[in-house]
Structure 1
Amino acid sequence: MRFRSIILAAALLAGLGPAAAQDYPTRPITMVVPFSAGGPTDTVARLVAQSMSRTLGQQVLVENVGGAGGTIGAARVAKASPDGYTILLHHIGQATSATLYRRLPYNALTDFAPVGLVTDVPMAIVARKDFPARDLAELVAYVKANPDKVTLANAGVGAASHLCGMLFMQALGTPLTTVPYKGTGPAMNDLVGSQVDMLCDQTTNTTGQIKGGAVKAYAVTTATRVPSLPDLPTTREAGLPGVQVAVWHGIYAPKGTPDAVTGKLSDALKVALKDDLVKQRFGELGTEPVAEDRATPKALGDFLAAEIERWRPLITAAGVYAD
């Protein structure tokens, strides 16, 4: 009798019964964004959450839990009840954290139940508006000739801008003075104010500054040109094919979340990615929704594993780690 009571209590606590999964959701869902409000990932999350709320019939509320390169928010979701009411929207940092952090409080690959990919955000190489180089070829030449004079900003160790900067320096074979900030906002502010020379950041953060003439743009880090910046060449076109990176975003639930629940979340995500408003706003930010077959648990799980292996050698070779 005691054994049966323990089993029943565990099932009730976990909320994993078929009926619970079938009725899901019956209350609001918290979507944790492991970065500050107003940043590129927060913008993506709020657009998707608004549409998913309509499909699921319950509010998907975005909560910003920043700090430690996104690991604090991710850890919170990893430890949450696997009932589908606490989920995570994270970017490429979910893959790089597996190598970057020596004492990561979770396993990025096994402590989450993937829901689906959301979007691939291109990055743009930009500089202060009065930087002397006119195009990427001149930029490369100037950087190689003046490595001690050029400062390269990033949004912090492990941030997408940091990874892009490492790829850029690796492609040139030229180390630069890097200036880490606590987020993309401060880094961009100092670039606009000519306090630093260069930055490689997401188009969600750079497009407005480029179009407004606040910074000088040289290339996007994707294989094809970005529709919102059609005159900006790709790194491949401009002679740096090795600098290819996009900031992808994915949604996760805690490990152990029932397949029926992650399936409902994935279905709602697919609807959101077809939403005209979401597509319009994504386009204005220089990105677009992923194809429907990538907004699935399997697609995200496979992609995350591949990305962890892709970035491991670069991070290890650079000797860049965070505590």
Structure 2
Amino acid sequence: MTLMRMNRRSVLAGAAATPLAMVAAPYVARGQSGVIKLLVPFPPGGSVDPIARMAQPSLQQRLGQTVIVENKPGASGSIGAAQVAKSPPDGTTWLFVFDTHAVNPVLIPNMPFDSVRDLDPVMLIGTAPYILACHPSRPWKTFADMVAAAKAKPDTISFGSVGSGSIGHLAMTQLGKRAGAQFVHSPYRGGGPAMNDALGGHIDSICGSAAITATQLKAEKLRGILSTGAKRMAAFPDIPTAAESGFPGFEAYAWWGVFAPANTPKEITDKFVTELRGALQEERAQKQLSETLQVDMRLGGPDELRTFFAEQMRVWGDVVRENNIKTD
């Protein structure tokens, strides 16, 4: 693709622009508007979408460019990820991902991109435990109650997740396997649709990140059964951990991160990391992330995300293979 040459007039006109705008300008392809896109590969209503949208206004102000959020859901986030992988590495397209991003390479055959080769790590935003919660109309108070019900009537007790291969799905697969119980998995295209059916009682339970379950738990629209963190959550001290529920050493975490098209110049990535970190550290965003969404903020740069991502692919890729997990 032919790159835009900067003539004297465009240099002078861009002198008042922000550093990212000036850094990105040589890499913006001819005919592009320069609008910065935060691509969310899930529908609105889950946890990835609100994180991108809470960052958007501050990023727009900090970067001095129009910043938009675009939802491109499908295939556990891989459809949107593929779009970003094929985008020019010019600083105008950034991918906000969920934990499914580390599972998709093993779960989905013949993906049209390579998650490691075609996307560069940018930022590890944060992590949160998963919470298994049931509709208040269901009789279970503990995971042992759910296991007993599932053993009495195999393949009748359902749980929803954001999709096949999500950490919520894999965590319940492992817990059921260790407990000797068979649960029915109901995969959805995102946290919003899964939560809607959980609240409506259309599924028995949901294994969702604390980010999407916290509000409903506080409102007592769902009943917490167990969490997958190393210790009980301060916001929900009555919900036992998986370890306390009879599964010592068991932990599973949702996570949120940002990737860019491969070969995005380091100066562009570094600038974006600085401004995104600043946006998410603002009081309003920090409060929403930490208190409302129950996210343990990491805000780590490319190197931290690269290491974390590799470990997540290793751990959960093994679970997919061992349990012969398939896509929907």
- Structure 2 length-normalised TM: 0.85
The aligned counterpart of 1:23 is 22
Q: Secondary structure in 1 aligned to 2:308?
A: helix
- Amino acid of the residue matched to residue 24 of structure 1? V
- Within 1, Cα distance between the matches of 2:165 and 2:128? 17
Extract unaligned runs of 5+ from structure 1: 1-8, 14-18
- Does the 8 A contact of 1:116 with 1:297 survive in 2? yes
Provide Cα deviations, 1:226-273, integer angstroms capped at 9, x if missing partner.
Answer: 233233222223332354211111111100110111111111122123
Distance 1:154 1:22, change over 3 A: closer
- Within 1, Cα distance between the matches of 2:45 and 2:325? 27
1:202 maps onto 2:209 in alignment: yes
Percent identity for Structure 1 against Structure 2 = 32
- Amino acid of the residue matched to residue 304 of structure 2? A
The aligned counterpart of 1:157 is 164
Map 1:55-74 onto structure 2 (within 5 A). Answer: 55-74=62-81
1:244 maps onto 2:251 in alignment: yes
Distance 1:238 1:54, change over 3 A: farther
1:301 maps onto 2:306 in alignment: yes
- Within 2, Cα distance between the matches of 1:241 and 1:44? 32
1:317 maps onto 2:322 in alignment: yes
- Within 1, Cα distance between the matches of 2:111 and 2:54? 29
How far residue 207 of structure 1 moved from its aligned partner, in angstroms, is 1.4
Distance 1:214 1:273, change over 3 A: same
- Within 2, Cα distance between the matches of 1:291 and 1:188? 26
- Within 2, Cα distance between the matches of 1:67 and 1:22? 31
Q: Which of 99, 103, 118 lines up with 2:110 in the alignment?
A: 103
The aligned counterpart of 2:226 is 219
Provide Cα deviations, 1:189-218, integer angstroms capped at 9, x if missing partner.
Answer: 333333322221112221122122222211
- Within 2, Cα distance between the matches of 1:152 and 1:92? 18
- Amino acid of the residue matched to residue 310 of structure 1? V
Q: Which of 170, 173, 177 lines up with 1:166 in the alignment?
A: 173
The aligned counterpart of 1:5 is none
Extract unaligned runs of 5+ from structure 2: 6-14, 26-33
How many pairs are equivalent? 308
- Amino acid of the residue matched to residue 277 of structure 1? R
How far residue 173 of structure 1 moved from its aligned partner, in angstroms, is 3.1
Stretch moving more, 269-278 or 136-145: 136-145
- Does the 8 A contact of 1:82 with 1:253 survive in 2? yes
Q: Secondary structure in 2 aligned to 1:156?
A: coil
Q: Secondary structure in 2 aligned to 1:106?
A: coil
